[in-house]
Structure 1
């Protein structure tokens, strides 16, 4: 089996439901951004060390969930003969993780600089890729119906990466670096 189809040689791609669209179509950008994020998470998981290895199962679960989210984003409403793959349970799972990590790290009332340990830095990059992905999904939402559970999950996922980055720093004994000009913003 060949992995290339040559259909993209003229800047077109086929989405779920057999519709052919331009490769720069907002729908393609949305699920492509999810794919980029998924790849970054895979890279991040591959860089975990003994202290941060506890994060690996949940990063792999997020990758699985992102495949479902990408499938839903790649599916135009009329092509969706069954319900979407993605639901709100994934967001609830993330919220539990966020709440736990927030409880076990030192409280923070000011903005922090992205960074710290290698793992935390990679998680902060994941956070920013997630935010860009969210903006692309919002653009798609303005043009076509989407599964709203995907947008909510992606929004919460950026919060997860912030909390997980702080947790990784805590696991590795690294202090967060506060933005020196920040006023108190977190209550």
Structure 2
């Protein structure tokens, strides 16, 4: 027989019944961490990338608690992530001059899913900001994280010899060059 004390096996997250948007952000960033961790398990033969993804998984959990608790994402983390962006952007600059279909190796596909989760996290953070003050740095970090995950997906495909597939939208006209 269970004791009268609250049994934690029946509680997956203590804030689940909150009315505000903060819990939605926290659940979304939990999903983001899970997806980055999943990608880390798929980057075979790339130990540096795996280590980076594990660091990003931890950072996603730091982001998760940075609104309700102490702000763990600070300028140093943003600067570090910005350096990661610069490093990987240089490696795939030629491939990312156009919109690409989110496809490729299992690891790259997992990174594209994680990128999408990061974008959803930005949106959830926006909804929180309508209810309480959210530091701009957290928005910058989350946007940048989505972009880094995209670059990592393209890098993983490149390392695996997977060709990127350009996507040309039929919904939005291409921008005309100013010289035209």
Q: Same fold (TM over 0.5)?
A: yes
Aligned to 1:4: 8
User: How big is the shift at 1:110?
Assistant: 1.6
Aligned to 2:165: 177
Q: Can you list the C-alpha shifts for 1:91-113, whole angstroms capped at 9, x where unaligned?
A: 21112111111211251322110
Aligned to 1:40: 35
Aligned to 1:92: 79
Q: Is 1:72–1:147's contact at 8 Å kept on the other side of the alignment? A: no
**1:69 aligned to 2:57?**
no
2:90 aligned to 99, 103, 116, which one?
Answer: 103
For residues 13 and 102 of structure 1, the distance between their equivalents in structure 2, rounded to whole angstroms, comes to 39
**Is 174-183 or 125-134 further displaced after alignment?**
174-183
Q: TM-score, normalised by structure 2?
A: 0.81
Q: TM-score, normalised by structure 1?
A: 0.79
2:144 aligned to 137, 152, 156, which one?
Answer: 156
1:22 aligned to 17, 20, 39, which one?
Answer: 17
Aligned to 1:17: none
Q: List alignment gaps of at least 5 residues for structure 2.
A: 1-5
Q: Can you list the C-alpha shifts for 1:133-178, whole angstroms capped at 9, x where unaligned?
A: 1100011011112233222111100000111111111111111111
1:117 aligned to 96, 105, 117, which one?
Answer: 105
Aligned residue pairs: how many? 167
Q: List alignment gaps of at least 5 residues for structure 1.
A: 15-20, 76-82
